[in-house]
Structures are given as C-alpha cells and as structure tokens.
Structure 1
Amino acid sequence: MNAGIPVRWVLSQPELGLALKGGSAGLGRDITLVLTSELTEPQHWLSGGELVLTTGMGLPLSRADRERYLADLDAVGVAAVGFGIGLSHERIPADLVDAADRLGLPLFEVPLPTPFGAITKKVMGRLAEQEYEKVLRASRAQPRMTRAAIQGVRAVIKELSAALSATVIVIGADGAIADAHPRRVPDEIAARLTEFVGTRGDGASSGVIHTASGESIAVQAITAGQTVHGHLAVVAPAALSAVDQVLLGHASSLLALDFEKPARLRIAQNRLNTQALSMLLEEPTELDTVWQHLTPAADRSGRVRALVLRSATPETLTRAVTAVDDQLSTQDRQLFAHVTADRAAILLSGADTDQSAERLLAHLPPATRATLRAGLSAPHPLRRFPAAIDHAELAASAALPGAIPLEPAALAGHALLTFPEARRVLSAVSEAMLQPLIDYDDRHGTDLVASLRAYLEAHGQWEAAATALGVHRHTLRSRITKIESVLGCRLDTARVRAELLLAVIAHR
C-alpha cells in the first residue's frame, strides 16, 4: 500500500531527541514527506501526509489564529508538526498543545541541537528502505504466485493476499463473486463491486472504489485478448502503491492464463468434434473409434436430435453456432457442429426439446435471431444422425424466420405442399391430371372437381361423400362415372385414388 512511516516511529529514534507534547491520539498517522515551512498559511501548498517542521517564526500572534493555524494543517491531512525551540520560541505555546490534543494532531518538540535536516534525512531514508522492501517483497511474491498458478485460482489469490496483506476477491464474467481470501466479503463491498462491474459497458474496466468505511478497492480486469474472464479486486485500508499494482497485474495475468486453459481446450475439442462429424457425413465408416467420438452428443438411450439453422449469410451462422456453444458450455456439454455456406447442423441430445433448443439461441441479438430458420429432428439412434440432419433441414426450409425450431411432426398433413420444390412438382401434376375435369366443369357448369375431392377424402365411402356434398349417393355415383370417363381411369384402383387426391389438394 501507499503507507508511509508512523509518527511514533520518528519519535522513537533516540538520536533525534524529539519529545511529544500533544496530539498523542494521532501517533498512528503516516508520514510520506518532510518539509520545512515558516509560512503563516502553509496549508495551501500541502496535500496530506506531510511532517511539517517549523521554528514558529511565521506563527500568528493571537491564540485564536494559532489554533486556526493548527486546525488548517489538520484539515489538509498533515501527519504531524515538529516545532523547533530555542530560536523564536523557548517552548511550544500551551494553546498549540491544547489544540493539538483536541485535534489528535501529533505536535512534538525539536531541540535546538537537532537540525531539521537530520529529521528529514532519517524519515526519507526510512521511506526509501520501505520502497526497497516492497520491491524485494514483490520480487519474491511474483515467483510464488507463478508457482501457485499450477494449483489454480485459489492458490494465486492466497499468495496475492499474503503479499499485500489485503483481502483479494475474484469476480466472474457474470459479475458474481466467485472466490475470496482470506475473509468473507462484506455486503457493502460486494454491492459496490457488483455495481462497478455491471455499469461498465465494455466489461473490461479497471479502477478504484472508495467505500464508506474508508477502505480502498482496486479492481483489475482479467482479460486475454478481447475476452474478459472477470475481475480481480484487492480490498485494502489505503490505495495500492505502484509496486503493489505490479503484483495485482501479475496475478491478473496468471488468472487470465488459468481461465484460458478450458477455453482453449474447448476450442480444440470442438474442432475434433467437427472433423469427426464431417468425416461421417462425407465418407460413412464403420470404424468404432470415429463413432465413439460422437457418443457425448447422445442421451442415455444413445439417441440424438439434429438442430439445423439456415441463413443466407455465413456470418450469421457463425454467430449462431458460437451462441449455441456458449450455452452448451454452461451445461458442461460439447459442441458437435457442421457448417456450410447456408446451413449449420448441430447434434443435440435426444432428450432435448424444441424449447431447450430455442434457449440455446436465446442470447443471439434479436435482429440476428429474426433471420434464422430453425428445424429440429425427432430423436434418432446415433448411427442414424445423417437422417436426423436431413429431416431437420427439411423442417428448417419450411420454418418461419425467427420462429421456434420447427419439428417435422408439425408438418403432418401438409408437408409436401410446404416445401417449394415439392409444391412445384405437385402443381404441375395437378394441372396435367385435372385440366380435363376443369375444362368440362367450365363448359357444362358442373362441379366434377369438388365431387372428386369429396369422394377421395371420404376414402371412397359413398354415403359420407354424398353427405359432404349435400347430394344423393346415386347422384354422386353418376358423377364419379362421368369423372372416370373424362379422365380415362378407374377410381377403384388405390394408386389412382392416391395420385388424384394429391392433385386435388395441390389444385386447392
């Protein structure tokens, strides 16, 4: 920390012959600088922590002004006042002593034989020794922290805490406190840290927080490249010194490396998973070692589902796969993805649902999610995952952009007409097969197409079809005979009925 030398240490140096006269309550104040001043109002040039040495030559004449003189020094944070006697004053004025006691500002007597320079040299020498000790302590602490990094985060913050004699806190990337040493984090400090991290838009801010209790919290972002893994905070009675900040920075770097290890391992694992998936899609093999590589994707029953995402832009697919990977990582699950120019296929557990699949995409920006078509296959045995991908891809081609992943079962009854390619074929077949009936209806004012549809949808049941049309069954029989004549076919053949049913559905 930026601690100086306690006033009591200076008074304890026998060779200086100093004698405390007042303000004993402030003996713990730290001296960071020594200066001599005979000004009547020296406080204008002081910033706190000074030991002011004076012979009283500029001391005000009235008691009230002398008390104000001392109060002004105390107000700017002066650590102590050394009053040299034997020149302008034989002793320290009693009113100054009384004021020093009231203020808790140490006031000591400097005998005539003791030069002010001796006090300055003694204090500044000790300050230099302390700085050297800090550097030496840091040089010893850095290797200890580096060795501790092998054992993980807790070992690193324990070493940093010992080196700084302070509480060290690790805040995770989610803004929550992940670890602390050596004590529990008070609610006030936890709240201030949460507020500090949460209000920084870039997520990588560092800085200093001052608490109501007077403590200083130094916050350092834990970053690796553009990735922010969290923050490291040190809670101390005073602000960190430059040397202490070096130790904080070193610890932050070690933690960043530790946090990066699983991230780098996951990247490598994802790459291997993608290679295995691509190999089995492009060149199916019976090698068990390759298939075993995919087993973490399956549920306990050995089943998988395929989530297929379609987009016209490869960048959107890349962002989507990254978002899915981030969510799977929080669930300690691996990513199995195969990405082409306009499609991303991801293997999920057979136990996943359309809702859980949608949650994997929940953290995408709304504008990005709104452009994605998503399809989700039914559960398949792992070795049939290519079929699962095909089914999910068909569903994705029929899904609405931004909608929850569509399952093939939801297309039952209108699947063929959902897909553009199938719809074009069926429309052409419909036109070719039904045009004679359409022309006949136009010429004669009949309704043979509607009669054909009712008959086919009633599975050839005369009563049901006639009721649906609102005619007598003999009337319907007559119309069906005419339809067979116009089309040149027999409706008692199942295959003919099936083709005509598709034709009339497409015609509608």
Structure 2
Amino acid sequence: MAWVLTQTGLALRLRGGATGVGRPIDVVLTTELADPSRWLSGNELVLTTGIRLPDTAPQRAAYLRELDDRGVAGLGFATGLTHPAVPEDLIAVADEIGLPLIEVPLETPFAAIVKAVTARIAELQYDDVVRVSRAQPHLTRAVITGGAHAVARELGRALAATVVIVDTVGDVVACHPAPADVTVLDEIRRAVLPGADAGATTVVLNGAPTTVAHQRIRVGSRSYGELVVIGAQPLSHIDQVLLGHANALLALDFDKPARLADAQRRLNSSALGLVLTATADVQPAWTLLAPVADSHRRIRALSIDSDSREVLPAVGAACADLLEREGYQCFVHAGEVEAVVIVPGGVGIDFAGRLIDGLDAPTRRAVRVGMSGTHVLDDLPTAVQHSARAAAMATRGGAPVEFGAVAGQILLSDNASRKVLATVAEAVLAPLVEYDREQRGGLIEALHAFLEANGQWETAAAELGIHRHTLRNRIRTAERLLDCDLGVARVRAELLLSLLAGGDRRAPVPN
C-alpha cells in the first residue's frame, strides 16, 4: 500500500488508516456490491465508487469492518461521481481499525491503478526470482566452506530474518544473527516440539506478532534437527524455495558422517567375511581387521544364531548401534542364519547381554548368542568357531553363553560329534538296554550314576536311593554284559559320553 501512495501519477490521497499502509497487495479488484466480503480472500486493494454504500454511519462502519476482517490491503474510494468526498465517519472508522482508506480522484481511472499494481507485482516477482538465483549459489558455497553456521548466515541475509538451526534435543547448532535471544529460543523450542509437523506459527516476541517457520532436517528416517526462520512477515512462496534449498544442503552436510560410517561398516563386514570364508591369501582383509584388536592384538568373537534369516537385519542394526554407542569399531558379518561380531579382547560377556536386551521381544526369542574366549587376532577363525559352539549351547531368547563356561558340553553341542556318539551308544549299550527291559535290572541308571559320581559308591548309591551293595552288584553285572573293566578311565569316559549322547535309555517298567 505504501508503494501505491508514492505513485504521483495516480494522484491518490490517503484519508484514513495510516497505520496499515504496510499491508501487502496481491491483486486489485473493483466491486460495487453492498457486501463483497464473501468473495474476498485477503490482500486485495478494493476499489469502489460507493454506489451501494450504506446510507447510515453504523452500516458504513460495519461495511468497512467486514473488509478489514477479510484481510484486505485497503479500500480505494472514488470521489466526484456518487460521492463528492469520502464520508467523514468512514475516515474515522478507518483510523480506528488501521485499514488504509484512499481517495481516488475523478481524473484517475480504476484501470490505471490496476495496471500500475499489476506491473509492480510482476516486477517484484521477477526480483524474487533473481534474488533466489543469486542466493542459491551462495548457500551451496556456504555449506561447502563453512557448514551449518555459514548456511544460517547466508539464509538469514537472503530472507532478512533470524535463522536458527537446532538439533533433535533443541540445542542450538547455528544461529544468525548470533547469539539468539533466550526468549526467541524458548519460542522456537515450543514451536518445534518433537513430532510437530513442518510449517509456520505466529507468536508474540517483544510485543510484536512474529512468524516462526520451520522444516525438519531429515534424510530418510534419520533426523538431525530443525531449520527455523523467525521474521516479521510470513515467508513468501519464493522464500520457501530458499528455505527448502538450505534444508536440503544441511541434510546432505549432516548426513555425510553417517554415510561415511555406513560405507566403513560395509567395508569392515566384507573384510571379515573374506577372512572367514576365503581359501586364498587375503592379507589386505587382515589389514582392515587390525583396528578391532586391543593394544595386545587380542579379540573376542560373538556369534548370534537365529532360526530365521528375516531377523538378521534387525540383529545387525542392533549390533552396529551398540558398538557405536560404546565406542568400538563395527565388524559385523551376516551369513544365512547367523551373524558374527568381532570386538576387542577386553570386552566382557556383559556386552552380549546388552546386545540381547536391546533387541525387540520377537527378535530376542529367535536368537541365541555365544561368545568366545580371548584370542590373538591371527586366531580369529578359531575364536569364531568357539563362539559358534557357545551359541549352540545357549537357549533362544535366553542369556548369552561364554565358551569357557561350557566345559564338558562342547563335544555334545556339535551335531556331527553327537551323531557319532549316539551311534556308538546304540551299539555299546544295547546289552544293558535289553537286560533292563527283560529283568527290570536298572543297569543303565546305575551305570550313569556311578560314572557321574566318578566311581564314588556312596555318592552314586545315595543319588539312586539304593544300598551301595545293590549298586555294586548292578555294576558287576554291567561289566559282565559289556565285557569291559570300569577301572579303566578311558572305558569310563567312552561309556559316559555314550550315555549322555544317547539320552535316557532306562527300560520302561511293565504294567
């Protein structure tokens, strides 16, 4: 409106509402309707000759207030036709509500005003395009040379506004001009509460209405914070283009370390996979694995065995997150239904516990976890074998198992070894099984208790709840049927393994 009043060729005169001359104009329209408000959307310069202007002062006041409520830029009132002058009561109301009221003299056609404003709007739009085309290269150079601080500075200059970049918890990353007022920062944090959609809100800062516009800085599902612009006026469409451009540049800049970390994790995984599966020389892969070892070149392996390959992506992501949080290099390799993690030698079994605790319930129920002892880096394949053995002894959804804690169970945890021992058990123990079935002699049970008690008669008899002499008789019968000497340690070991591999072979008690 202020610009229109400066156009001397139009000979316009401001009669009222001087406080509103800063209102923007989007379009100029002419209307002689008694109530045009229903067809108005805001920012219009309304021109009228007053043909259907209400007759009474209260009605004229209501007419002007309706226009103001619709957000028009101003009212141009023609004189010299229907009205010789602008009604004084209309001027008083315009001053009261701050709506610019302009007198249009008879010699100024409405078309001249329309033409002048339309040309000015086109000129400003062109200027905006030029401004954006000049600002975008500055923003691009800024993110390359100065990161977030430089982007905030260039965007603030281009928009003539305050720009603040906050992280995901509301802390200020960059600000222009700096430092931001505490009141401003508090309003920003309220406007960009977690989960708030991008947009603009109007707040009161230092007694004046202020627009706070913000966009989430995001790459995929990863969020880095908010880009916030604080200004006296809402952002125009062209300003929003600049805001979006700056947002994209910041997202790329913030995501750069994450992309590098993802690439490093993929490289580490490939190197670990080569070492575990390759038959040829893979010295370059060993070189990449060196950083995972501690200062004494020691490592430990963690095996996560799953019952479905569908859960491995979640397991791998949980491993990477835990390693990153605890400051370890990420070396994770996933196979068909298992994943292997390599950690420094000083990492304890509690690390595996934290990994399990970090999984969601369905994933946790699908996996079992084992951890090797400490090995030098060159023994990595052995460490992985041991962690796999330990995982085989663990319970799905249960606590992780450490290799050193499964002494006496390792041989039976291997499926191939267990099958061999089960075959031996079926052949060796057959005479005792047959005797128990026919005589109800309890030989299998007696032999098992005797061997588990390391040949201690009293202990074994107490376990079975029989007299030791009864136990001696059963063991002699077993020796006779098996044609062996239970005084030989190797014989006892073979029979105990056969019993363990063969399961419970006690004869059923007949009805």
Q: TM-score range by the shorter chain?
A: 0.7 to 0.9
What's the offset of the Cα at 1:160?
A: 1.7
CA distance in 2, matches of 1:488, 1:120: 119
What's the offset of the Cα at 1:390?
A: 0.9
5+ unaligned residues in a row in structure 2: which ranges?
505-511
CA distance in 1, matches of 2:326, 2:132: 39
Give the AA of the match of 2:201: H
Q: 1:326 to 1:99 in 2, by over 3 A?
A: same
The corresponding residue for 1:200 is: none
- Listed one character per residue, the Cα deviations across residues 280-333 of structure 1 (whole Å, up to 9, x for unaligned) are 334589998654422332345543332223345545434432443345445554
Give the AA of the match of 1:65: Q
The corresponding residue for 1:109 is: 103
- Listed one character per residue, the Cα deviations across residues 468-489 of structure 1 (whole Å, up to 9, x for unaligned) are 4555655555544443333222
CA distance in 2, matches of 1:463, 1:196: 71
CA contact (8 A) 1:175 1:194 kept: no
Does the alignment pair 1:265 with 2:260?
A: yes
- Listed one character per residue, the Cα deviations across residues 342-362 of structure 1 (whole Å, up to 9, x for unaligned) are 332121334445554355466
CA contact (8 A) 1:273 1:293 kept: yes
- Listed one character per residue, the Cα deviations across residues 255-287 of structure 1 (whole Å, up to 9, x for unaligned) are 233244334323432333233323333458999
Does the alignment pair 1:460 with 2:428?
A: no
Q: 1:167 to 1:306 in 2, by over 3 A?
A: farther
What's the offset of the Cα at 1:16?
A: 4.2
Q: 1:178 to 1:361 in 2, by over 3 A?
A: farther
- Listed one character per residue, the Cα deviations across residues 442-470 of structure 1 (whole Å, up to 9, x for unaligned) are 45443333333333233233444445455
- 1:143-222 equivalent positions in 2, closer than 5 A: 143-150=137-144, 151-170=146-165, 179-182=173-176, 183=180, 186-197=185-196, 207-211=198-202, 213=204, 215-220=210-215, 222=217
Does the alignment pair 1:30 with 2:24?
A: yes
The corresponding residue for 1:55 is: 49
**Equivalent residue of 1:83, what SS?**
strand
Q: 1:95 aligns with which of 89, 104, 108?
A: 89
5+ unaligned residues in a row in structure 1: which ranges?
1-6, 198-205
The corresponding residue for 1:4 is: none
What's the offset of the Cα at 1:67?
A: 0.9
- Listed one character per residue, the Cα deviations across residues 14-65 of structure 1 (whole Å, up to 9, x for unaligned) are 5544433322332332233223333322222221112223332221111111
CA distance in 1, matches of 2:468, 2:195: 81
CA distance in 2, matches of 1:362, 1:119: 73
What's the offset of the Cα at 1:144?
A: 0.8
Give the AA of the match of 1:49: N
**Equivalent residue of 1:492, what SS?**
coil
**Equivalent residue of 1:59, what SS?**
coil
Give me the TM-score of the superposition, normalised by structure 1.
Answer: 0.83
Q: 1:107 to 1:264 in 2, by over 3 A?
A: same
- Listed one character per residue, the Cα deviations across residues 95-147 of structure 1 (whole Å, up to 9, x for unaligned) are 11221122121223334444444444443343333323222221221111111
**Equivalent residue of 1:307, what SS?**
strand
**Equivalent residue of 2:429, what SS?**
helix
> Superposition RMSD on alpha carbons, in Å?
3.4
CA distance in 2, matches of 1:326, 1:494: 50
Q: 2:478 aligns with which of 476, 479, 483?
A: 483
Q: 1:443 to 1:75 in 2, by over 3 A?
A: closer
Q: 1:229 to 1:454 in 2, by over 3 A?
A: closer
Give me the TM-score of the superposition, normalised by structure 2.
Answer: 0.83
What's the offset of the Cα at 1:212?
A: 5.1
CA contact (8 A) 1:395 1:406 kept: yes
Kindly, what percent of the aligned residue pairs are identical? 45
Q: 1:391 aligns with which of 378, 386, 391?
A: 386
Q: Which moved more, 1:451-460 or 1:284-293?
A: 284-293
The corresponding residue for 2:446 is: 451
Give the AA of the match of 2:383: A
- 1:6-405 equivalent positions in 2, closer than 5 A: 7-150=1-144, 151-170=146-165, 179-182=173-176, 183=180, 186-197=185-196, 207-211=198-202, 213=204, 215-220=210-215, 222=217, 228-230=222-224, 232-283=227-278, 290-299=285-294, 302-311=297-306, 313-329=308-324, 333-357=328-352, 359-360=354-355, 366-405=361-400
The corresponding residue for 2:507 is: none
Matched length: 492
CA distance in 1, matches of 2:202, 2:412: 67
